Structure 1
Amino acid sequence: MDSMDIRLAKLARAGDRAAFAELVELYKDKIYHLAYRMLHNWHEAEEIVQETFLRVFTNLERYDETQKFSTWIYRIGTNLCIDRLRKRKPSYSLDSEMNEGEGTDWYSLLPSQEDTPDEQLLLSETQTQIRESIETLPEKYKAVVILRYLQDLSLQEISDVLSMPVTTIKTRLHRGREFLRKKLEKIL
């Protein structure tokens, strides 16, 4: 698949719109699942997919054909998710007064954490608890755990995506698993 990806990237770089459309078709669902698992918000995940392909399109000349295309696109998607997670952290007090006409407090602006009925049907109780536990992972462990266990990337691929040594990836993966194990022991 990687040689086909590289061929498609070369064609897209040369202006072949069909080749770029094929790259989008190959990776849109993978990037969506990555983003949804990191952000747990379908709307934000869709935005990340669009932003990822916009960045791929505008930076195709920067793609290094000696590297796997999948690594390059996962790096873009993962970095966009991490940026989004960082921006999410509120810098205001939930108890502070709001301007007139905006509601009574900041709590009313927080998105609901409830799943839709479709999501409730699709996820068993255990899967839900695991997903919620992954959501509570610190950022530095969350990306590694999601890329390894939910996107099934190798340690070397994760290292390439996050631009970190494999030893750091192993350490973060181990600590992330320990964090999850302790959290799940309390729940399950």
Structure 2
Amino acid sequence: MKDIQEQQWVEAAQSGDQAAFESLVHLYEKRVLALTGRMCRNPEDAAEAAQEAFLAAWQGLASFRGESSFSTWLYRLASNACVDLLRREGRRRAAAGPSLNDEELNLDVADPAPSPQEAAERRELRQQIETGLQSLSPEHRQVLILREMHQLSYDEIAQVLQLDIGTVKSRISRGRKQLRNFLLCSGNFSVPAASKEAGREG
């Protein structure tokens, strides 16, 4: 039912119905802000990128043909807005969520009841992840955020960013390796015993 309502709003908005577009904004604004917030880190930049994404969506609705879902298309606009903003202002910063939830990095920080020492260690790890992400290019940070924080599949990321899947996998692999190396050098990450297998894409 939700998908039907969304499609009706999209079709109405394409015909110039501003109220229908506002309904789409309300439906997706939190998710878009979550994405831009992690890409930009600075709340003002995140809000600006989100605003640019919704403006681009309104202006580009006439050319939206539904080849991908509306949400995928909107993610693409938001992600591109973030990269454009970062490039314009020369900012190479990023924000990490509660964890990367990445089996390759072997980061397990999701225990619901940590001890004070464990909580302090996790805060330090998150800070190190954030610092490590700062060193990545916007393109590498972009794919890691979509993959690890928003849990998009490789195919979905390829659609969002309009890249071939080989490029997506390559960027994710390189980004993970760079981040892992940073954590190794900072002393906040130890290589598991089966690390020889970690380089393989699953």
- Output the TM-score relative to the length of structure 2: 0.71
Which range moved further: 147-156 or 41-50?
147-156
Kept in 2, the 8 Å contact 1:2–1:68? The answer is no
Counterparts of residues 99-178 of structure 1 (less than 5 Å): 124-178=123-177
Q: Which runs of 4+ in 1 moved over 6 A?
A: none
Query: How many pairs align?
Result: 157
Q: Corresponding residue for 2:57?
A: 56
Q: Corresponding residue for 2:118?
A: none
Is 2:67 the partner of 1:66?
Answer: yes
Q: Deviations over 1:53-72 (max 9, x none)?
A: 11111111011123211111
Q: Corresponding residue for 1:6?
A: 7
Kept in 2, the 8 Å contact 1:8–1:19? The answer is yes
Name stretches of at least 5 consecutive residues in structure 1 with no aligned partner: 91-122
Please state how far the C-alpha of 1:160 moved relative to its aligned partner. Answer: 1.0
Please state how far the C-alpha of 1:166 moved relative to its aligned partner. Answer: 0.5
Q: Distance in 1 between matches of 2:168 and 2:8?
A: 30
SS at match of 1:46: helix
CA gap of 1:170–1:3, structure 2 versus 1, over 3 A, is farther
Kept in 2, the 8 Å contact 1:141–1:173? The answer is yes
Q: Distance in 2 between matches of 1:25 and 1:124?
A: 32
RMSD: 2.0
Kept in 2, the 8 Å contact 1:6–1:68? The answer is no
Q: Corresponding residue for 1:182?
A: 181
Kept in 2, the 8 Å contact 1:6–1:65? The answer is no
Matched residue type, 2:46: A
Please state how far the C-alpha of 1:16 moved relative to its aligned partner. Answer: 2.9
CA gap of 1:53–1:180, structure 2 versus 1, over 3 A, is same
Please state how far the C-alpha of 1:137 moved relative to its aligned partner. Answer: 1.1
- Output the TM-score relative to the length of structure 1: 0.76
Please state how far the C-alpha of 1:124 moved relative to its aligned partner. Answer: 2.4
Q: Deviations over 1:30-86 (max 9, x none)?
A: 111211211111101001111111111111101112321111111111111111111
Name stretches of at least 5 consecutive residues in structure 2 with no aligned partner: 92-121, 189-202
Q: Distance in 2 between matches of 1:139 and 1:31?
A: 17
Identity level (%): 36
